[in-house]
Chain A
């Protein structure tokens, strides 16, 4: 069965760049039926979509984060990655990666999700 695993530093200093990688196992990231996404959840708060990527490299970003976000894909490693620049304490959150199933334009859902990784922004 498909599994996703986030990896990266758990502590990032303010103003620096947060970098995370999601490794996909049990399936190919190059599947034509799916996008891949990043979602975050600040402690005790709700879910926030960060952005999504297709295996070809096509991306969609949350407008509120777009100026600081870069999502990329490495099909040879079956991985996709997140970079979030100029971080502040407000970026402290559990970061999830997930597969995004697309049935049609405007019709997609995340399944499954990785276990999530807590990233704390602090000096």
Chain B
């Protein structure tokens, strides 16, 4: 079965750029999206179709996908961005989630 691999944790200082990766076999040939989940809340999509931002998502969130890796980039990271982030893609009509990355802003 297809697998997406994320680092368990990433740390970033306020105002700096955070990059969260998601790796999978030929992931660049698929579409990736990203969800943000804060404690006690439901996930919210922050990037879809590799690099598109839904309305209401700040411009500091961006995405890319090439080769075997999709990347979520948060520029000028703020304390409010501290959360768990999950990547998601499709493989053979099935939905696959990455294991999640805890972003700490310190």
**In the complex, which residues of chain B have a beta carbon less than 8 angstroms from the beta carbon of A64?**
1
Instruction: Give the number of residues in B that approach A within 8 Å (Cβ atoms).
Output: 23
Q: Is the CB of B42 within 8 A of A47?
A: no
**In the complex, which residues of chain A have a beta carbon less than 8 angstroms from the beta carbon of B86?**
46-47
Bound state CA distance, A116 and B96, in angstroms? 19
**In the complex, which residues of chain B have a beta carbon less than 8 angstroms from the beta carbon of A115?**
42
Q: Residues of B at under 8 Å CB distance from A?
A: 1, 30-31, 33, 35, 42-45, 48-49, 54, 86, 88, 90, 93-100
**A108 interface residue (CB < 8 Å to B):** yes
Q: Can you name 14 extra interface pairs (CB under 8 A) apart from A37-B95, A106-B93?
A: A46-B100, A49-B95, A49-B96, A63-B1, A63-B94, A107-B49, A108-B90, A109-B48, A109-B49, A111-B48, A111-B54, A113-B42, A114-B42, A116-B42
**A21 interface residue (CB < 8 Å to B):** no
Q: Residues of A at under 8 Å CB distance from B?
A: 37, 39, 46-49, 52, 60, 62-64, 96, 101, 103, 106-116
Q: How far does the Cβ of B33 sit from chain A's closest Cβ, in whole Å? A: 4
Bound state CA distance, A115 and B40, in angstroms? 9
List 22 A-B residue pairs with CB atoms under 8 Å apart, sorted by A's residue number: A46-B97, A46-B99, A47-B35, A47-B43, A47-B88, A49-B94, A52-B95, A62-B94, A63-B94, A96-B43, A106-B90, A108-B95, A109-B48, A109-B49, A110-B35, A111-B45, A111-B48, A112-B42, A112-B44, A113-B42, A113-B43, A113-B44
